[in-house]
Amino acid sequence: MELSEARVAVVGLGLMGGSLAAALCARNACREVIGIARRQSSLHTALTLRFIHRGETDLCAGMADADIVVLCTPVGDILQKLGEIGPWLKPGALVLDVGSTKAAICAAMADLPAGIQPVGGHPMCGKESSGLTMAEPGLYQDRAFVLCPLDRTAVEARSLAETLVRAVGARPTYLEPARHDRLVAAISHLPFMLATSLVLAAERVGADDPILWSLAAGGFRDTSRVAAGSVPMMMDILATNRGPILDVLRLAQTELAELAESLQADDAAQLRQRLEAAAERRRRI
């Protein structure tokens, strides 16, 4: 099947789902975009913004004639839905997701009925603010979009998933689920944990001197930004990627300890070497 002929059901119209639906509609990439949300008000907003062609609050009804189903809810909800939707899916449908962890989701996808075509997915984009009002058609533009097809996934389904990714402006990047989870633990999940620790450390300093918060400027705001993100979403990530996140937290603890030791020893040469190495690596990103 060609994407231009496909009906695409987007389950969850928050930032990620709303932006994906909006991009598909704006580019006339498929036959129809069906938005599925719990609240009628979300569907009304999405229709008003022309992010979807039609909407459903009933999951079964929304997916019934969909050739592609994209699950755009938090990881825990995606796992729950994967355990429920099998009987409602159109035979041969492609099931894709945008969850932030992949091993648990791909394992759940393996239990979908025979003939259903599963592909795990994770677009490497987002904002600290969530919700449909934050969605935009260009969110995925020029961003990596990880794809994790299963062994059972047909070549044609992989190609269709890749076509959809390109249609919203993203760059398909194929990874094994475990490799994905190890890498995003370092570049996505660890920054959230470090930003959290930064805010909590500053909170301790400011406990008896609250003028601290009026002094917080660009550096603090930039490095702590992700700590303002969705706590429920992060709790799902921590629950489904616990091992890799613990590994990178221990690496970060080692790096902090070595910086502290160099500072304690007043070892300016070692401090400079470590700061310059980090600065040079950051400039190459």
Q: What is the CATH number of the domain that holds 214?
A: 1.10.3660.10
pLDDT of res. 95: 98
Domain termination site, one of 140, 175, 210: 175
- 72 and 104 within one domain: yes
Helix (H) or strand (E) holding 56: strand 54-56
Q: List pLDDT tens digits, range 56-102.
A: 999 999 999 999 999 999 999 999 999 999 999 999 999 999 999 99
Residue 88 · residue 64 · CB < 8 Å: yes
- 257 and 160 within one domain: no
Number of domains in the chain: 2
Instruction: Identify any residues that bridge with 173 across adjacent strands, giving them in sequence order.
Output: 146
Q: Is 274 exposed, middle or buried (0-12, 13-18, 19+ CB in 10 A)?
A: middle
Which residue type is seen at 266? D
Rounding to the nearest 10 degrees, give the CA dihedral for residues 181, 89, 158, 78.
-10
Using alpha carbons only, what angle is made at residue 145 by residues 70 and 13, rounded to the nearest 5 degrees? 35
- 214 and 133 within one domain: no
Q: What is the pTM of this model?
A: 0.93
- 171 and 191 within one domain: no
Rounded Cα–Cα distance for residues 37 and 55 (Å): 8
- 138 and 207 within one domain: no
Q: List pLDDT tens digits, range 20-48.
A: 999 999 999 999 999 999 999 999 999 99
- 247 and 197 within one domain: yes
Domain termination site, one of 124, 152, 175: 175
pLDDT of res. 130: 79
- 64 and 160 within one domain: yes
- 48 and 68 within one domain: yes
Pairing of the two strands 117-123 and 144-149: antiparallel
- 137 and 187 within one domain: no
pLDDT band at 129 (very low <50, low <70, confident <90, very high): confident
pLDDT of res. 55: 97
- 204 and 160 within one domain: no
- 44 and 151 within one domain: yes
Q: What is the CATH number of the domain that holds 57?
A: 3.40.50.720
- 92 and 120 within one domain: yes
Residue 223 · residue 198 · CB < 8 Å: yes
pLDDT of res. 242: 98
Domain termination site, one of 123, 155, 175: 175
Which residue type is seen at 113? P
Domain encompassing residue 197:
179-283
Q: List pLDDT tens digits, range 140-162.
A: 999 999 999 999 999 999 999 99
As given in the structure block, the two tokens for residue 157 are 């389904």
